[in-house]
Chain A
Amino acid sequence: MPSSLVDGNSLLALDIGAANTRAVLFDVVEGEYRFVASGSAPSTVDAPYKDASEGARNAIEILQTILGKTLLDGTRNLITPSQPNSMGVDALVVTLSAGPTIRTVIVGLLKDVSLESARQLAESMYARIVEKIDMSDHRKPDQQIDGILRAKPDLVIIAGGTDGGASRSIQKMLEPVGLASFLMPEDKRPFVLFAGNEKMGDKVKESLEAHTASLHFSPNVRPSLETEDLDPAQSQLANIYVDIRKRQIQGVETLNIWSGGHIMPTGYATGRMVRFLAKVYASNKGILSVDLGASAAVISAGFKDKATLNIYPQFGLGENLTGLLNHTSLDDILRWSALDISTGVLRDYLHQKSLYPSAIAATKEDLAIAQSIARQALYLAMQSARRDFPKNAARIKPNLVPLFEPILAGGGALSDASRPGQGLLLLLDAIQPVGVTTVILDQNNLLPLLGAAAAQNNILPVQVLESGAFLSVGTVVSPVVSAAYGTPILRAKLSYANGSEARADLKYGSIEILPLTTGETGTLEIQTLRNADVGFGPGRGGKFPVSGGALGVVFDGRGRPLDLPGDAVRRRELIKKWSWTLGGE
């Protein structure tokens, strides 16, 4: 396998999701890397197949048919590198999000310091925290042991102690972990990541190495009380995730061999890409990526000096759907629906859909329910992720999301939206962006694949990103203002490159559009009313260039935070109106 792709080698990317497995080919077209085609097949991690590579082979076969090119040999193994007769590909990368949630125990010294870092680490993979231990835990060690045993963890993350700092307290924390692991059957013992006081390495080895599936170390996530550095530990955790999946899911090892070890968690790959974009396109605003699929909701944000990655399997739209009600109510989900749907129907839907994550909405009512759930799941994920955004990120108000440019959206729930307007309204409802931002739909769910490809080839992601493989939905202007419904809050003038103009008067509670097609550019002049703030300061307007998209320039005058009417009939009428404005039904 070539170590570099700068000579124009082809790259196949596989994404093994909870519902679907996709095979995506990138190749050089007219001197630049392009997204060529993708094939998709149901994932085969579940019974009766129980082999992730089977779905990968099926997806590659569909891709072969689309391309008219042979990628698999007679024994259905990937042909790599590519042959002189053009069969095969030069390199493969794999992203993986399928599989049961990783049951994780987090251990730290101080609840608000190292345990919090361990929590953030756990949230950077497809984990569910099933047990926590810290110094404020008043249980006896044997009760902690039983707690860990009952939790049946796949993974234990231990943080705590500044470098050269506390050691005896950490030693005490290791004891229940080591003894509990020792009591588990060998094939069920957890993987352990130690990301604490680096001076403790030998002690940790002595206490844990013999009793764990495998023991890993990363640089301290809290080298001092004031500093937190999660990146090296997240990278280590991504490797551990793949090792856990190798143990749990047949076929992952095959994919690992095919890809020469270039396999990583899908969410982590997205995070890498966002981090890269934040560095390349650094501005005062952050970059946001949201991905909502069957396995999880993934929120990844890049700021000037910090990147955050939050993966929430509990907000995924697949097998964990019934658990969504542990975090929200049926009424809170239904507030997003334009149709009158009973709580009973919704509750039945959640249970039924969790049985069949790959099933899709075939009727309008099913789609309305699915999209209401998607809105609430993404809304909850954003609310949870917000606490990890840096406090110094540029914002209009502290209780609102930071300013982002652009917002990238992908995942089955968003790329499946039948019209771009449907996807956009879902994003506006769930994320509630503020100020001026571009919304880009990753309709082919390429972002994580580019993140994985970047490990092999840093030219490919840049060229594919600039190639138009992503769908720009448009520029969204969301003023922050207090006003009564129907009150004018903003006036806008869009000057087109051909000299013509279009104007919009935005009233509180409404959505307006000024058309600007993909590829077109224009200048947008905004005059704010009633002290509205679009990122230039309260009551201040501005003039700036804008690019077109599928919808053009969208003005969301519904206020932030979005306050939906309590009256259900009026609310549903408004939702229908907003949806209609954005090209829905």
Chain B
Amino acid sequence: MQAPVNHITGFTAIVRERVLPVDGTVFVRLNQKINSSEVIAEAKMAREHVLLDVARALRMHPDRANRLIKCKIDDRIQAGAEIAVGKGLFPREVLAPRDGRVVAVGGGQVLMEVNETKIELRAGIPGMVVEVIENRGVLIQTAGALIQGVWGNGRIDSGPLMNLAEKTDSVLTSSALDVSLRGAVLLAGMVKDAETLKAAAELPVRGLILSSIYPSLIPQAREMRYPIIATDGFGPMSMNSAAYKLLSTNIKREAVINAEIYNRYTGARPEVIIPLPISSDPPTANEVETFAAGLQVRMRRPPAIGMIGSIVSIKPGSTLLPSGLRAPAAEVKLENGETVVAPLVNLEVVG
């Protein structure tokens, strides 16, 4: 049976897409080396529209109104500019209510987009541009350590990695945050209160790597301007030992925390990347493995949820589980020495 893979690996090639939400201008070129803070693309996006019913305002048939409309598609118009003027001694006029761009004209109406904002796309990840996606963005390749998580608040940033988690089940409180941590990405264990998230924002930090996040804190975590990632899940959960070991042995290195929102369909996952110097490109980690004895796995559900272990054997046929259900299963030796039988669908390969 095929096995999903959660990447927690010390050295691998990493290729990530960075794209604008709408068409815009891409500033970088193929094979260009870029750093994480570099603006690689830019777009303008209107968040509102204004529909001007010229025919109605001028009290005439749409076809007649069309002939009086002075603007055309793509015209940039300032507030107060004349859109159309009627006929007669005291002609009625239609003025642009706001600054904007004309996006459609017809049927005696003018549709403008207004409240335009500029979107800047930063590289986020340092590396090499290996593909330019016309008008949208790039694919960036880098090499280093990769630690994937399960929840992210949608932000991205980078900074030196600092360790505030003495062990896998540490809890971060606001009292542990001081000015020496300003600008750092923090390996932080669990957070149980919103005050700690706010204190981290006030420093500010460049990111929090949590083992888990309490569901009640998710709304506040989404509002934070810095990236937050949970490696293992929700509620009180320790960080899996593989992620903790890898992160805690890379302290003071520059870490990119890309807290992308998990999307099962696109494959977007929150992750930490620690770029490392290379002499030659390492291989890309497999996205899929086949369950087999010896593979390192992580438990997705109880018993021993979040724990790392290795497959001792794949059980033949279906196995009766303590819950009473039957499913294809494996015998897994956990890192604490205990051996459990787990359904294959509750396991993911770590590597």
With a 10 A CB-CB cut-off, give which of A140, A364, A366 has the most chain B CB atoms: A366
Which residues of chain A are within 8 angstroms of B287 by Cβ–Cβ distance? 47-48
CA distance A364 to B321 in the complex (A): 9
Cα-based distance from A358 to B4 in the complex (angstroms): 11
Which listed residue, B2, B47, B263, B323, touches A367 by the CB 8 Å rule? B323
Q: Is B293 an interface residue (CB 8 A)?
A: no
One of A142, A248, A348 near B51 (C-beta < 8 A):
A142
**CB neighbours of A42 from chain B (8 A):** 1-2, 345
- Proximity string of chain A (30-51) to chain B, C-beta cutoff 8 Å, 1 when within and 0 when not: 0000000000011001111110
Contacts of B346 on A, CB cut-off 8 Å?
Answer: 356, 359-360, 362
Contacts A146-B48, A183-B111, A359-B346 known; 6 new A-B pairs at CB < 8 A: A141-B51, A179-B49, A183-B104, A348-B236, A360-B301, A362-B323
In this assembly, does B235 line the interface, its C-beta being within 8 Å of a C-beta of chain A? yes
- A525 to B: closest C-beta gap in Å: 35
B199 interface hit (Cβ, 8 Å): no
Instruction: State which residues 82-107 of B face A: CB under 8 Å.
Output: 103-104
Which residue from B234, B288, B324 sits with its C-beta under 8 Å from A419? B324
Interface of chain A residues 345 through 382 with chain B (CB within 8 A)? 345, 347-348, 350-353, 355-356, 358-367
Q: In this assembly, does A86 line the interface, its C-beta being within 8 Å of a C-beta of chain B?
A: no
Shortest Cβ gap from A168 to chain B (Å): 14
In the complex with contacts A347-B235, A361-B325, A363-B323, A45-B265 CB distance below 8 A: yes
Q: Which residues of A contact B111 (CB under 8 A)?
A: 142, 145, 179, 183
Please tell me if A344 contacts chain B, counting CB pairs below 8 Å: yes
Asked whether, in the complex, the Cβ of B215 is within 8 Å of the Cβ of A348, the reply is yes
User: Interface readout for A130-174 with B: 1 if CB under 8 Å, 0 if not?
Assistant: 000000000011100110010000000000000000000000000
B323: chain A residues at CB < 8 Å are 360-364, 366-367, 418
Question: Are B324 and A367 closer than 8 Å at their CB atoms?
Answer: yes
Q: Which residues of B contact A365 (CB under 8 A)?
A: 302
Q: A8 within 8 Å of B by Cβ?
A: no
The docked-state distance in angstroms from the alpha carbon of A140 to that of B111 is 13
Task: Check if A46 sits within 8 Å of B264, measured CB to CB.
Answer: yes
Q: Identify which of A50, A344, A353, A419 contacts B235 (C-beta below 8 A).
A: A344
- The answer, among B51, B266, B345, for a CB contact under 8 Å with A360, is B345
Distance A42 CA – B302 CA, assembled complex (angstroms): 20
Please name all residues of chain B whose beta carbon is closer than 8 Å to the beta carbon of A351 when the two chains form the complex: 215, 233-235
Nearest-neighbor residue (CB-CB) of B234 within chain A:
A351
In the bound complex, residues from chain A placing their C-beta under 8 Å from that of B326 are: 418
Chain B window 245-268, contacts with chain A (Cβ cutoff 8 Å), 1 for yes, 0 for no: 000000000000000001111111
In the complex the two chains form, what is the Cα distance from A350 to B234 in whole Å? 9
**Contact between B51 and A355, CB atoms less than 8 A apart:** no
Cα distance A471–B298 in the bound complex, in angstroms: 36
| Assembly CA distance A351 to B233 (angstroms) | 8
Instruction: Please report the C-alpha to C-alpha distance between residue A45 and residue B263 in the assembled complex, in whole angstroms.
Output: 12
| B residues at A contact (CB < 8 Å) | 1-2, 4-5, 22-23, 47-51, 53, 103-104, 111, 113, 150, 215-216, 233-236, 262-268, 287-288, 300-303, 305, 321-327, 342-343, 345-346
A182 within 8 A of B: yes
B264 and A319 contacting across the interface, CB-CB below 8 Å: yes
Q: Evaluate contact between A58 and B2: CB separation under 8 angstroms.
A: yes
We find that the number of chain A residues with CB closer than 8 angstroms to chain B is 49
A residues less than 8 Å from B301 (CB atoms)? 352-353, 356, 359-362, 366
Closest to B103 in A: A183
How far is it, in angstroms, between the C-alpha of A140 and the C-alpha of B56 when the chains are bound? 14
Given the known inter-chain contacts A45-B265, A100-B265, A182-B104, please indicate yes or no for A362 contacting B303, CB distance below 8 A.
yes
Instruction: Contact check, B302 vs A366: say whether CB atoms are below 8 A apart.
Output: yes
Tell me whether A179 and B345 are in contact in the complex, defined as CB-CB below 8 angstroms, given that A363-B303, A416-B325 are known contacts. no
Q: Which of B103, B288, B305, B323 has the most CB of A within 10 A?
A: B323
Residues of B within 8 A of A182 (CB): 104
In the complex, number of A-B residue pairs with CB atoms less than 8 Å apart: 139
* A24-B287 Cα distance, complex, nearest whole Å: 28
Cβ–Cβ contact A49 & B51, under 8 A: no
Look across to chain B and name the residue whose beta carbon is closest to the beta carbon of A48.
B287
Please name the 7 residue pairs, one residue from A and one from B, whose CB atoms are nearest each other, closest first: A47-B267, A418-B324, A348-B235, A48-B287, A351-B234, A142-B51, A367-B323
Residue of B nearest to A362 (CB): B321
Interface string of A399-429 (1 = CB under 8 A from B): 0000000000000000010110010000000
Using A48-B267, A355-B262, A360-B343 as known contacts, say yes or no to A418 and B325 having CB atoms under 8 A apart: yes
Question: Knowing A179-B111, A364-B323 touch, does A41 contact B1 (C-beta < 8 A)?
Answer: yes
Collect the chain B residues with CB atoms within 8 Å of residue A58's CB.
Answer: 2
Q: Are B215 and A145 touching (Cβ within 8 A)?
A: no
Output the residue of B4, B23, B326, B327 with the most chain A CB within 10 A. Answer: B4
Complex CA distance for A207 and B263, rounded to whole angstroms: 35
Q: Determine the chain A residues whose CB is within 8 A of the CB of B325 once the complex forms.
A: 360-362, 367, 416, 418
A362 near B342: Cβ-Cβ < 8 Å = yes
B266 neighbours in A (Cβ, 8 Å): 47
Taking the nearest CB of chain A, how far is it from the CB of B207, in angstroms? 21
| Contacting pair A46 B265 (CB below 8 A) | yes
Q: Which residues of A contact B49 (CB under 8 A)?
A: 142, 145-146, 149, 179, 183
Q: Which residues of B contact A146 (CB under 8 A)?
A: 47-49
Instruction: Pick the most buried of A99, A350, A358: most chain B CB atoms within 10 A of its CB.
Output: A358
Asked if A348 and B233 sit within 8 Å, CB to CB, the answer is: yes
A45 to B265, CA, bound (A): 7
Given contacts A142-B49, A145-B49, A347-B235, contact A47 B264 (CB under 8 A): yes
Nearest residue (CB) in A for B212 is A348
Contact between B324 and A363, CB atoms less than 8 A apart: no
B16 → chain A closest CB, angstroms = 13
B104 touches A348 (CB 8 A): no
Chain A residue at smallest Cβ distance from B320: A418
Question: Which B residues touch A367, using CB under 8 A?
Answer: 323-325
Taking the nearest CB of chain B, how far is it from the CB of A580, in angstroms? 14
> Contacts of A100 on B, CB cut-off 8 Å?
265
Are B345's CB and A359's CB within 8 A?
Answer: yes
User: Please, how many angstroms separate the alpha-carbon atoms of A46 and B323 in the complex?
Assistant: 27
With both chains docked as a complex, state the minimum distance between the C-beta of A6 and any C-beta of chain B, in angstroms.
36
Q: Is the CB of B327 within 8 A of A356?
A: no
Q: How far is the CB of A386 from chain B (nearest CB, A)?
A: 31
Contact A348 B234 (CB under 8 A): yes
Which A residues are CB-close (under 8 A) to B264? 46-47, 319
Q: How far is the CB of B101 from chain A (nearest CB, A)?
A: 12
Inter-chain contact A140/B322, CB cutoff 8 Å:
no
Residue of A nearest to B268 (CB): A47
Q: Which residue of B lies closest to A19 (CB)?
A: B345
Quick check: A49 and B288 within 8 Å, CB to CB? yes
* Known contacts A182-B104, A348-B215, A364 near B51 by CB under 8 Å: no
A47 touches B51 (CB 8 A): no
The interface residues of chain B lying within 8 Å CB-to-CB of A45 are 265
A504 to B268, CA, bound (A): 58
Alpha-carbon distance between A365 and B47 when the two chains are bound, in angstroms: 47
Given A146-B49, A183-B49, A355-B233, A364 and B322 touching (CB < 8 A)? yes
**Would A356 and B265 count as touching, CB distance under 8 A?**
no
When distances are taken between beta carbons in the complex, the residues of chain A under 8 Å from B300 are: 352, 355-356, 359
B215–A362 CB distance below 8 A: no
Cβ contacts under 8 Å, B103 to chain A:
183
Find out whether the CB atom of A352 lies under 8 angstroms from the CB atom of B233. yes
* Distance of A368 from chain B, by nearest CB (Å): 9
What are 24 sample pairs from A and B whose C-beta atoms fall under 8 A apart? A42-B345, A47-B268, A48-B4, A48-B267, A142-B49, A142-B50, A145-B51, A179-B111, A183-B103, A183-B111, A348-B234, A351-B234, A352-B234, A355-B150, A355-B233, A361-B301, A362-B302, A362-B303, A362-B321, A362-B342, A362-B346, A364-B324, A418-B323, A418-B326
CA distance A416 to B327 in the complex (A): 10
Question: B5, B322, B342 — which one has the most chain A CB atoms within 10 A of its CB?
Answer: B322
Q: Are A362 and B235 in contact (CB under 8 A)?
A: no
- The docked-state distance in angstroms from the alpha carbon of A361 to that of B323 is 6
Docked complex Cα distance between A365 and B302 (Å): 9
CB neighbours of A366 from chain B (8 A):
301-302, 323
